[in-house]
Amino acid sequence: MKYRSKLNIIADILKAAENGSKKTRIMYLANLSYRLLEKYLVKVIKADLLRHNGEVYELTEKGRIFLEKFRDYSEKVSRIRKEVEIIKFEKQVLEQMCEIA
């Protein structure tokens, strides 16, 4: 599995809680150990991205804005990665053109 950045883990937790979720559901959807989830829940609640309403965790307004911005960011990252691959190929073509004919 690819290593996830902190930002990605937080986004995964918020996505899992987008429509209101209990802890076990978040754990499952965000693919986190109980221990790691506990650590992150403290963090995202302190950051005012998530709140709990009894057993159910739900996004705050700031959490919704974060998720929207994250999705936009994520799409751009994917698009640019593809463009970088294309450019690398174009560079190779140019380098080959510089070889002895």
Interface ranges with a copy of itself (CB under 8 A): 6-7, 10, 43-44, 46-49, 62, 65-66, 69-70, 72-73, 76-77, 80, 83-84, 86-87, 90-91, 93-95, 97-101
The 3-state DSSP class for residue 49 equals coil
Shortest distance, position 80 Cβ to a copy of itself, whole Å: 6
Q: How far apart are CA 12 and CA 76, in angstroms?
A: 17
Question: By the 8 A CB rule, do 40 and 9 touch?
Answer: yes
Provide, rounded to whole angstroms, the least separation between the CB of residue 86 and a copy of itself.
8
Residue 67 identity (one-letter amino acid):
L
- Min dist CB 52 to a copy of itself, Å, is 16
Tell me whether residue 28 or residue 80 sits nearer to a copy of itself (CB atom). 80
Residue number, 5 or 33, with CB nearest to a copy of itself: 5
The residue (of 1 and 93) whose beta carbon lies closer to a copy of itself is: 93
Q: Which is nearer to a copy of itself, 34 or 91 (CB)?
A: 91
Type of residue at 7:
L
Which is nearest to 20 in space by CA: 49, 58, 75?
Answer: 58
Tokens 């593809």 map to which residue?
82
Q: Give CA–CA dist 58/52, Å, rounded.
A: 6
